[in-house]
Amino acid sequence: QKEVEQNSGPLSVPEGAIASLNCTYSDRGSQSFFWYRQYSGKSPELIMFIYSNGDKEDGRFTAQLNKASQYVSLLIRDSQPSDSATYLCAVKTSGSRLTFGEGTQLTVNP
Amino acid sequence: GAVVSQHPSWVICKSGTSVKIECRSLDFQATTMFWYRQFPKQSLMLMATSNEGSKATYEQGVEKDKFLINHASLTLSTLTVTSAHPEDSSFYICSARETPYNEQFFGPGTRLTVL
Give per-residue pLDDT as tens, A53-110. Answer: 999 999 999 999 999 999 999 999 999 999 999 999 999 976 788 999 999 999 999 9
Give B2's pLDDT tier (boundaries 50, 70, 90). confident
Is the pLDDT assigned to residue A9 strictly greater than 90? no
Q: Does residue A69 contact residue B70 with C-beta atoms inside 8 Å?
A: no
Q: Among B22-26, B65-69, B70-74, where is mean pLDDT lowest?
A: B70-74
Q: A102 vs B43: CB contact, 8 Å cut-off? A: yes
CA B72 to CA B55: how far, in whole Å? 10
- Tell me how close the Cα of B23 comes to any Cα of chain A, in angstroms: 13
Q: How far is CA B109 from CA A34, A69, B10, B60, in A?
A: 19, 34, 8, 22
Q: A44 vs B44: CB contact, 8 Å cut-off? A: yes
Q: Does residue B96 contact residue B104 with C-beta atoms inside 8 Å?
A: yes
pLDDT at A101: 93
pLDDT at B39: 92
Give the largest Cα separation in chain B, rounded. Answer: 42
CA A91 to CA A49: how far, in whole Å? 10
Quick one: DSSP state of residue B55? P
Which residues sit opposite A99 in a β-bridge?
Answer: A91
Burial of B97 by CB count in 10 Å (0-12 exposed, 13-18 middle, 19+ buried)? buried
Q: Does residue A33 contact residue A65 with C-beta atoms inside 8 Å?
A: yes
Instruction: Report the 10 Å Cβ neighbour count for A16.
Output: 11
B61-100 residues touching A, CB cutoff 8 A: 93, 97
